[in-house]
């Protein structure tokens, strides 16, 4: 299922969402210009490599400072490939603007970064011996999805389902689409736990951790004055 758009209009320009997307895209294209060896070193230095923080000997052997925790933040703006970047930016484009709309720009950026940091920490905690960089905005975006799940459960999401060579479009409630998304993360996580090597390369713990964090903390970031203004606006059906 590929989300195309949602039905919730945005009342304010989502500057923070656009800036985050701009940074992620710019960094990705910058890395494409680097020689492969330098790009790989860049990923290992600024991506979050779990074993780097649990095995200082390994970190020193690879020339990575074991106490360089900035990677928990910088990894949120790195992506490992075109598909990785495209999927994350699509989810960001569709769902983040409405959450930024409810929180305001400043609160949203704090919310986004907290979700991303705690999602990355969850991935480290449950995979401390992982020797590849954990990168991507998916953990932070999962936090946005967690907030969206509870604030706009009955919004309509248009999805694309490719059947062989025929694209089919459906409109379903956000609660159904995001519920299926969570189930897929749990399925992949279970597969990875029971059959190592068969669960793909995605950071499933970061996805689920970010979703749970976003679902739990989003009420503390909602700007009540913005909600009040939205409630006072006349609807099209009035």
* pLDDT, tens digit (0-9, with 9 covering 90-100), for 19-29: 999 999 999 99
Task: Give the Cα-Cα-Cα angle 87, 93, 94 (nearest 5 degrees).
Answer: 95
Cα separation of 54 and 49, whole Å?
10
Which residue bears the tokens 């769902």? 95
Which residue bears the tokens 């480290």? 124
Per domain, the residue ranges of the chain are: 2-229
Question: Mean pLDDT, the chain, as a whole number?
Answer: 89
Q: Which two tokens stand for residue 99?
A: 């959450």
More confident position, 189 or 32: 32
More confident position, 187 or 143: 143
pLDDT the model gives residue 43? 93
More confident position, 130 or 165: 130
* pLDDT, tens digit (0-9, with 9 covering 90-100), for 190-219: 877 676 555 556 688 999 999 999 999 999
* pLDDT, tens digit (0-9, with 9 covering 90-100), for 33-44: 999 999 998 999
pLDDT the model gives residue 6? 94
Do residues 149 and 174 make contact, with C-beta atoms less than 8 angstroms apart? Answer: yes
pLDDT the model gives residue 226? 67
The model's confidence at residue 167, banded by pLDDT at 50, 70 and 90, is confident
Distance in Å from the first CA to the final CA of the chain: 35
* pLDDT, tens digit (0-9, with 9 covering 90-100), for 83-125: 999 999 999 999 999 999 999 999 999 999 999 999 999 999 9
Output the pTM of the full model.
Answer: 0.90
Provide the b/e sequence for 22-45 (b: ≥16 CB within 10 Å): eebeebbeebeeeeeeeeeebbbb
User: Residue 20 is inside which H or E element, if any?
Assistant: helix 15-32
Q: For the chain, how are helix, strand and coil distributed in percent, rounded to 5?
A: 65, 10, 25
The model's confidence at residue 62, banded by pLDDT at 50, 70 and 90, is confident
pLDDT the model gives residue 178? 96
DSSP state of 136: -
Q: Which two tokens stand for residue 115?
A: 């979700």
Residue 236 has pLDDT above 50, yes or no: no
Give every strand in the sheet of 166-173, ordered side by side: 2-6, 156-163, 166-173
Which homologous superfamily is 2-229 in? Rhomboid-like (1.20.1540.10)
Q: Per-residue pLDDT averaged across 134-160, rounded?
A: 96
pLDDT the model gives residue 64? 83
Kindly tell me the burial class for residue 162, based on how many C-beta atoms sit within 10 Å of its own C-beta (0-12, 13-18, 19 or more): exposed
């Amino acid at each position: 299922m590929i989300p195309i758009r949602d039905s919730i209009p945005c009342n304010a320009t989502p500057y923070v969402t656009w800036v985050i997307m701009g940074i992620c895209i710019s960094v990705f294209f910058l890395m494409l210009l680097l020689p492969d060896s330098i790009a790989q070193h860049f990923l290992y230095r600024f991506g979050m490599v779990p074993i780097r923080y649990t095995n200082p000997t390994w970190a020193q052997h690879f020339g990575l400072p074991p106490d360089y925790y900035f990677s928990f933040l910088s990894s949120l703006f790195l992506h490992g490939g075109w598909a990785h970047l495209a999927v994350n930016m699509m989810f960001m484009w569709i769902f983040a603007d409405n959450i930024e709309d409810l929180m305001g720009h400043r609160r949203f950026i704090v919310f986004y970064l907290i979700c991303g940091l705690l999602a990355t920490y969850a991935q480290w905690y449950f995979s401390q011996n992982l020797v590849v960089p954990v990168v991507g905005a998916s953990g932070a975006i999962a936090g946005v999805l967690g907030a969206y799940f509870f604030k706009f459960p009955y919004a309509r999401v248009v999805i694309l389902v490719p059947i062989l060579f025929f694209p089919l479009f459906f409109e379903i409630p956000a609660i159904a689409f995001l519920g299926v998304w969570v189930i897929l993360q749990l399925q992949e996580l279970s597969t990875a736990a029971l059959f190592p090597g068969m669960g793909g390369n995605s950071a499933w713990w970061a996805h689920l951790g970010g979703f749970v964090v976003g679902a739990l903390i989003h009420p503390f970031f909602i700007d009540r004055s913005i909600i009040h203004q939205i409630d006072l606006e006349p609807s099209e059906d009035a």
